[in-house]
Amino acid sequence: MPGRCWPVREPADQQLCPSAPGRPGASVLIGVVTGTPGAPRVMPTEAPLEVTPELLALAGPVSPSEVFRL
């Protein structure tokens, strides 16, 4: 949803969208969903982390977008 994305520093046309699907080499991890299904909370990472196939596999058995904010 474009309204939930915001521009990053460089290049100006790229967007960060916290509910985007993760793509190794093209996405960064900016938070982890904690809490409960009825009361989820997002814990931001101290710094953006590079998305790798191994990182995405840690979300299993659910979709990475259910666990991570990328």
What's the rounded Cα separation, in Å, for the pair 22 and 30? 11
pLDDT greater than 90 at residue 56: yes
Strand ranges for the chain from DSSP E: 6-7, 15-16, 28-35, 40-50, 68-69
Model pLDDT, residue 12 = 45
- pTM comes to 0.69
Model pLDDT for residues 1-55, shown as the tens digit of each residue: 344 444 444 454 555 666 677 889 888 999 999 999 899 899 999 999 999 999 9
Q: Which of 65, 68, 25, 63 is nearest to 45 (CA)?
A: 68
Asked if 70 contacts 44 with a C-beta cutoff of 8 angstroms, the reply is no
